[in-house]
Amino acid sequence: MSKGTITNRGKFLKNIRGKIGGISPDKPVEKPDWTVNPQRRVMKDFDQDQLVEVLDKQCHHIHTDFFLTNSESLQETLDQVLASYQTRSIVYSSDNRFHTYQLPEFFKNFAKKPEHEVFKWNDENSEESISFSERADVGITFSDITLAESGTIVLFNRKGQGRSVSLLPRDYIAIVPKSTIVPRMTQATDYVHQQVEKGEEISSCINFITGPSNSADIEMNLVVGVHGPIRAAYIVVEDK
């Protein structure tokens, strides 16, 4: 990627520097040690089972269906959720974890039924990937990090993990390996901060997804399902 342009910066920042007595731009500013860090105390000593419990409870507040299962029963649970959402078409991201849990096989069987379709996100074919997602009933992804406190699926969108899979279909299902659950946003932002510190490239789009889309713009009444998915389900699975 070639470097982008920066326009008007010198004058703009000089004006600011004049007002706040700033120092030269090449002299790094040291971030102070903040005197309090309440975020680090939240669910500090919780084990995975306790975090699952918190996540379960939070799902009720965010209008999200919650399921807890193990790797042997995952296909059965998924089948049940898909049936309850009257699913005929599925798009899922290109993620090795689908293989780990033998899901491509399950999808193959699903697609055999009449009028059923399954599409795996394909970066080589952007147009088809987006247009299928747009008309799909359900989008399925694995969660990269899961936040118990807020009931949030964190997705590091990247090659294979298209932004559209969790956005365009009518409903969204996240498969949540139990080990991905952490107390809160702090652990996810720490992870990204460490990536930056190490000079690693960070994902071009990091999505924190908390339940289905909603709006309270009409008389402050909560309407679930606006531009993004109308329903959402999280399936927590014991790691394989």
Nearer to other proteins, 160 or 238 (CB): 160
Q: Are 169 and 163 in contact (CB under 8 A)?
A: no
Binding residues among 152-191 for other proteins as defined by CB under 8 A: 152, 157-159, 162-164, 167, 184-186, 188-190
Longest dimension (CA), the chain: 70
- List 37, 83, 96, 198, residue binding other proteins (CB under 8 A): 37
Residue 116 CB, shortest distance to other proteins, in Å, is: 23
Question: Which member of 130, 137, 178, 238 binds other proteins (CB under 8 A)?
Answer: 130
Q: Give the Cα separation of 18 and 86 in Å (integer).
A: 62
Q: Which stretch binds other proteins (CB under 8 A): 68-76, 102-110, 111-119, 220-228?
A: 220-228
- Asked whether 132 and 167 are in contact (CB, 8 A), the reply is no
* Minimum gap (Å) between residue 54 Cβ and other proteins: 11
- From residue 47, how far is each of 69, 135, 179 by CA, in Å? 18, 40, 10
Nearest to residue 209, comparing CAs of 160, 142, 121, 122? 142
- Within positions 4 to 23, which residues make up the interface with other proteins, using CB under 8 A? 4-9, 11-13, 15-17, 19-23
**228 is a site residue for other proteins (CB under 8 A):** yes
Give the interface size with other proteins as a residue count (CB under 8 A).
Answer: 91
From the CB of 220, what's the least distance to other proteins, in Å? Answer: 5
Q: Distance (Å, rounded) from C-alpha 34 to C-alpha 57?
A: 32
Nearest residue to 179 (alpha-carbon basis) of 212, 146, 209: 146
